[in-house]
Amino acid sequence: MDIRNLRSILAVMETGSLTAAAMRLGISQPALTKSIQRLEAQLGAPLFTREPKGMRATIYGESLREFARSTCVGMEETIKEIEALKKGSSGYVTIGGPPLIAQHLFPEIIVRTTRAYPNLRIRIIEQIDDLFSSLLDGKFDLLAATMTSEARQTGLNSMWMLDDHLVVVARPQHPVTKIKSPRAKDLTEFNWVFSGTGNLHRKRLERFFESENVPLPRAVAETSAPELIRSIVVQTDCIALMAKMGAQADLDAGILEHVEIDSPFMLRSIAMLWRSTHPLSPAANRVMDVVRMVCRERGYAPVPTLDSGR
C-alpha cells in the first residue's frame, strides 16, 4: 500500500471533508479523490460514503483506520530516526581499548557525547590482547591504543591524542628515586616486578636494556595484573615500570615516587584508530569531535586532523 493513500484516507476521516483534507495535505481535491479511489480499487471495497455533512468512513474504512494511523506514525518515526543517524545524533558506537586508557579517557568522552547527543549510545569494550586484529575484524568502530609498528603496518587510520611516558615507580624514599635519569646499569641492582611476557611495557623495558647492552635484571615476581604490581611496589623494596598515566593518582598522593628514564622506548603515543577500509559513521564522527575537545581542554598538544598519523 502506498503510504500517501493511507495519509489521504486518514485526513478525510479526521476532517470529515474532502476540501478540508486536501487543504491539510496541501494537494488538490481531485488529486485527493484519485488517491482514495486507487486504494478502494486495490482493496475492492468502498471506504467512504457521501453524506450531507461530509464524508463518513464505511465499515471497511473504519477497519483500515488503526492500520493507516500506525503505519503513518511509524513511517514518520523511521524518517526521523534515519535523519538522526545521518546527522550522527543517534546510533551506536563501539569503542575498544586497554583498561588503563579506557579508565583515563573514556568516562569524560562518554559524558560529553551523551550530553551533546542524548540519543547516541556508546558501548565500551576493555581488552588487552589482539587489539588491532579485533579492530580490523569490526569488533570496534574506534580503538584507543598505543601506536605501535603493528598498527602502522596494518594501514589503520589514526588520530594522535597524547603522549604518555613509562616510568620506574617505587615506594617513597626508595634508593632508586635518588638517581636522576638512570641508565640501564643503574637499575640492575634493584629487585624488580615485571609485567608478563609479551606485555608492551615488558617489551619496552627489554628493548631499553638491550640498547645499552645490559642484561635484563632477574625479576622477583611477574604478573599481568597492574594492581598487583602496584601493591607489591607499595609494600616492598621492589621497583617496576608503569605508565605514568596509571600511576599519577598515587604519585600525587605521595603513595609512590617515580624516576624518568631518558629513552625513546619509554615514550608511548596514544591514538584513536579506525579501519581505513571503512569510513566512520556519522555517529562515530560525533564521538571523534568530542575526543578532540577533551584532548584540547586537558592541555594535550594540538590534535592533528582525521587520517593523520604519528
User: For residue 283, what is the domain's CATH number?
Assistant: 3.40.190.10
Residue 99 and residue 61 share a domain: no
> In which band, very low, low, confident or very high, does the pLDDT at 240 lie, cut at 50, 70 and 90?
very high
- Is there a single domain that holds both residue 71 and residue 121? no
Q: Where are the alpha helices (DSSP H) in 175-281?
A: 200-211, 226-235, 244-253
User: Among 42, 63, 87, which residue terminates a domain?
Assistant: 87
pLDDT digit string (tens) for 159-213?
888 888 999 999 999 999 999 889 999 999 999 999 888 788 899 999 999 999 9
Pick the range with the lowest mean pLDDT from 76-80, 104-108, 142-146: 76-80
For residues 232 and 246, state if they share a domain.
yes
pLDDT, greater one: 295 or 96: 96
Is 8 within a domain? yes
Of all residues in the chain, what percent carry a pLDDT higher than 70? 91
How many structural domains compose the chain?
3
Same domain for 207 and 59: no
Q: Residue 310: what pLDDT?
A: 35
Question: Tell me, what's the pLDDT at 237?
Answer: 94
- If asked whether residues 16 and 105 sit together in one domain, one would say no
On whether both 152 and 236 belong to a single domain, the answer is: no
Interval 51-78: pLDDT, tens:
888 888 999 888 888 888 888 777 776 6
Q: DSSP character for 86?
A: H
Q: Of 87, 104, 132, which residue sits at a domain end?
A: 87
Domain that residue 111 falls in: 90-162+269-297
Domain match, 190 and 254 both: yes
Both 214 and 173 in one domain: the answer is yes
Residue 308's pLDDT is what? 37
Q: Are 226 and 244 in contact (CB under 8 A)?
A: no
186 and 255 fall within a common domain? yes
Judgement on whether residues 123 and 199 belong to the same structural domain of the protein: no
